């Protein structure tokens, strides 16, 4: 079965034993909420239990790497460790270089975070030139021109956690 945006999924992964953390920024909230819902809906469809999906927020995308690291560490301290974590943020280019600096530094920090936390960290950062681009990638633009990228992130989270579970 070809899943739009993910290419051919080589098999359906059973997420029923997984615990997943979603940590999202609060900038561009309408778009964020659609992406988070997309990720949750896809993971529920892959068997993840609703009570095993924990959602936390941070002010903006720049706070995602540190927030994500502490979110994972606290899940261990509480004896309910995550199997995978999905940081979600929406960066929209403004009239300054702020966008470039946040996009580059946050992306690199999230990539290297995987080594630090020993878990898959799914890349849920939208870096868009316009609000229209961001709305489309959350599946909520006028013409629904694209699928909700949050669904891809949810599917990637289940696959990575199941396939490469330490």
Ligand X SMILES: O=c1[nH]c(NC[C@H](O)[C@H](O)[C@H](O)CO)c([N+](=O)[O-])c(=O)[nH]1
The residue from 46, 48, 86, 91 that contacts ligand X (CB under 6 A) is 91
Name the closest residue to ligand X (Cβ).
Answer: 60
The closest of 58, 59, 57, 62 to 101, measured between CA atoms, is: 62
Rule CB under 6 A: say whether 150 interacts with ligand X: no
CA distance 94 to 85: 28
Q: CB of residue 80 vs ligand X: minimum separation in angstroms?
A: 27
Site stretch for ligand X (CB under 6 A), options 7-15, 23-31, 47-55, 141-149: 23-31
What residues are labeled active site?
98
Binding mask 95-114 for ligand X (x = CB under 6 A): ---xx--x------------
Number of residues that bind ligand X (CB under 6 A): 16
Rule CB under 6 A: say whether 59 interacts with ligand X: yes
Report the residue number, 62 or 71, with the smaller CB distance to ligand X.
Answer: 62
CA 35, chain centre distance (Å): 8
Site stretch for ligand X (CB under 6 A), options 38-46, 53-61, 108-116, 146-154: 53-61
């Amino acid at each position: 079965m070809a899943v739009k945006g993910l290419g051919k999924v080589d098999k359906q992964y059973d997420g029923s034993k997984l615990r997943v953390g979603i940590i999202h920024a609060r900038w561009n909230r309408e778009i964020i909420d659609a992406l988070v819902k997309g990720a949750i809906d896809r993971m529920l469809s892959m068997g993840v239990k609703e009570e095993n999906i924990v959602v936390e927020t941070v002010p903006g995308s720049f706070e995602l790497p540190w927030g994500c690291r502490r979110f994972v560490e606290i899940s261990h301290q509480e004896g309910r460790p995550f199997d995978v974590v999905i940081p979600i943020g929406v960066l929209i280019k403004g009239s300054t270089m702020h966008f470039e600096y946040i996009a580059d530094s946050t992306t690199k920090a999230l990539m290297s975070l995987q080594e630090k936390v020993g878990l898959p960290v799914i890349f849920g950062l939208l870096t868009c030139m316009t609000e229209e681009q961001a709305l489309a990638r959350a599946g909520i633009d006028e013409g629904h021109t694209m699928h909700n990228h949050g669904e891809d992130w949810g599917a990637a989270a289940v696959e990575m956690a199941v396939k490469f579970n330490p």
